[in-house]
Structure 1
Amino acid sequence: MLCAGALLLLAVRLLGDGTPQTGAPSPPPDARSAPRTAAPASPDARPVAEHLPRSSPVRLLIPKISVDAPFTDLALGANGQLQAPPPHNTNLVGWYAKGASPGETGTAIIAGHVDTATSAAVFAELAQLKKGDVFRVRRADGRAPVFVVDSVETFDKDRFPSRRVYADTPDAQVRLITCAGDYDRTVKDYTENLVVFAHLR
């Protein structure tokens, strides 16, 4: 009952309308090469917090659901799909290391297992988060930026909105991603993905 791998493998493979790509899957944005675009002004736009320079995350702290977990770097495999955190470590989260780092301008991607073959895992209670909840990411540079949850949403895996989840942003944002829904023993995967959308406070 492993999940983070499958959730990101499928998520990266799909276009925003849920249509499978016919070529190689597109990776999440690379923070070092993606262009930065200005956000259009809107009357209800939130103030943009000053972003931080690039620095690797070292620990994820989500007090509401008792998460205190170290990070491992995630990369793309030979097939262009994002690799998952190690399957048997129940208290480990993965960060897509070629994307934005948490606190840096752009969208930082953090993935974790909801369970393993033997027990619940680091993101087992992720669905308990609500809009306005906060979490912190400790970074290698000693800073610990705080992020505010904007929404917690569940998507069918065959309609995963990749563009919305992975799109580059003009401010510093984070996505926390895990599996949700029912476990399909035939395909050995969950039917849905849970995504937490958050921004730098």
Structure 2
Amino acid sequence: MSPARLARVVPLILIVLTGCSSAPGTAPEDPATGTGAPGRNAVGTPSPRTPAAVGRPAAPVEVEIPSIGVKSSLMELGLNTDGTVEVPPPDKGMTAGWYTGGAAPGEAGAAVIIGHNDTRFGKAVFHDLKKITKGADIMVRNSLGESARFTVTGSESVSKDSFPTDKVYGRTRDHALRLITCDGDFDAEGHPVNNLIVYATLD
């Protein structure tokens, strides 16, 4: 790869913020993102997608995971002006969000839904996501009332310093779904050190 080409590619490999809170009594959350100090809530930035075109599948409006008692409406999440991924605001911790830069759930590609584990307001929508098991069902309903059913194929807890960006956001022919929240122990500043990623495929 030429130096000029490399210079265009490297800026795409960035770090973004996601929905995680500090431990109680530690560093306060940023009111704009619902996160603690920058740099500890990394989930890896995907390459930009072409804006949604006419004929794209209807937007998802609800996610349900019966095995862990989750049923949430979905807000749309894009990118902030600095290129970081938007997250639900802290006061909407019980609401998950769909990242509009990825696939719509049910279409070919990787669809990504992000939710808080907890916020300064308490327990949040994906608090029990760590309890999900392989084979569990995830249903996503769109604005037309159509439902897509996914089956969990696995999950992993990964360090935010080595987030598998391409594995989560990269191009795939599968009709894939990824759920992301925070996980693991807290660092010295009170921020979770890992991300929990759940992988699922369309039935």
1-structure distance, mates of 2:178, 2:48:
13
SS in 2 for 1:150: strand
Question: More relative contact order in 1 or in 2 (CA 8 Å, sep 6+)?
Answer: 1
Shift of 1:160: 1.0
Secondary structure of 1:164 counterpart: helix
2:92 aligned partner: 89
Question: Which residue in 1 is equivalent to 2:75?
Answer: 72
Q: Which residue in the other structure is 1:200 paired with? A: 202
Work out the CA distance in 2 between the residues paired with 1:180 and 1:54: 31
Uncovered stretches (5+) of structure 1, i.e. residues with no partner: 13-25, 34-52
Which amino acid in structure 2 is aligned with residue 160 of structure 1?
Answer: F
**Which residue does 1:163 correspond to in 2?**
166
**Cα offset, 1:138, TM superposition:** 0.7
CA shift digits 1:132-186 (9 cap, x unpaired): 1111001112111100001011001111111111112102100000000012351
Tell me the distance in 1 between the aligned counterparts of 2:40 and 2:98. Answer: 12
SS of the aligned residue for 2:152 comes to: strand
Corresponding residue of 2:121? 118
Return the offset for 1:54: 1.2
| Aligned amino acid, residue 149 of structure 2 | V
Q: How does 1:21-32 map to 2 (within 5 A)?
A: 26-28=45-47, 30=49
State the alpha-carbon separation in 2 of the partners of residues 8 and 165 from structure 1.
Answer: 18
2:148 alignment partner, one of 145, 151, 162: 145
Unaligned runs of 5+ in 2: 1-19, 23-33
| SS in structure 1 at match of 2:43 | helix
How far is the alpha carbon of 1:98 from its aligned partner? 2.5
Q: CA offsets per residue over residues 9-61 of structure 1, 9 Å max, x none?
A: 6222xxxxxxxxxxxxx43562758xxxxxxxxxxxxxxxxxxx611011111
Q: CA 1:127 to 1:107, structure 2 compared with 1: closer, same or farther past 3 Å?
A: same
Query: Partner letter of residue 133 of structure 1?
Result: A
Question: Alpha carbons of 1:88 and 1:30: their partners in 2 closer, same or farther (altered >3 Å)?
Answer: same
**Overall identity of the aligned pairs, in %:** 37
CA contact (8 A) 1:7 1:178 kept: no
The CA distance in 2 between the partners of 1:130 and 1:28, in whole Å, is: 30
Please identify, of 86-95 and 54-63, the stretch whose mean Cα deviation from structure 2 is larger: 86-95
Q: Is the 8 A contact 1:27 1:82 kept in 2?
A: no
Alignment match of 2:136 (pick from 133, 137, 149): 133
Equivalent residue letter for 1:95 = W
Equivalent residue letter for 1:189: H
* TM-score, length basis structure 2: 0.76
Aligned CA-pair RMSD = 2.4
- Counterpart-to-counterpart distance in 2, 1:183 and 1:125: 17
Normalising by structure 1, report the TM-score: 0.76
> For the Cα contact (< 8 Å) 1:29–1:166, is it kept in 2?
no
| C-alpha distance in structure 2 between counterparts of 1:105 and 1:170, whole Å | 6
**Offset of residue 86 of structure 1:** 1.0
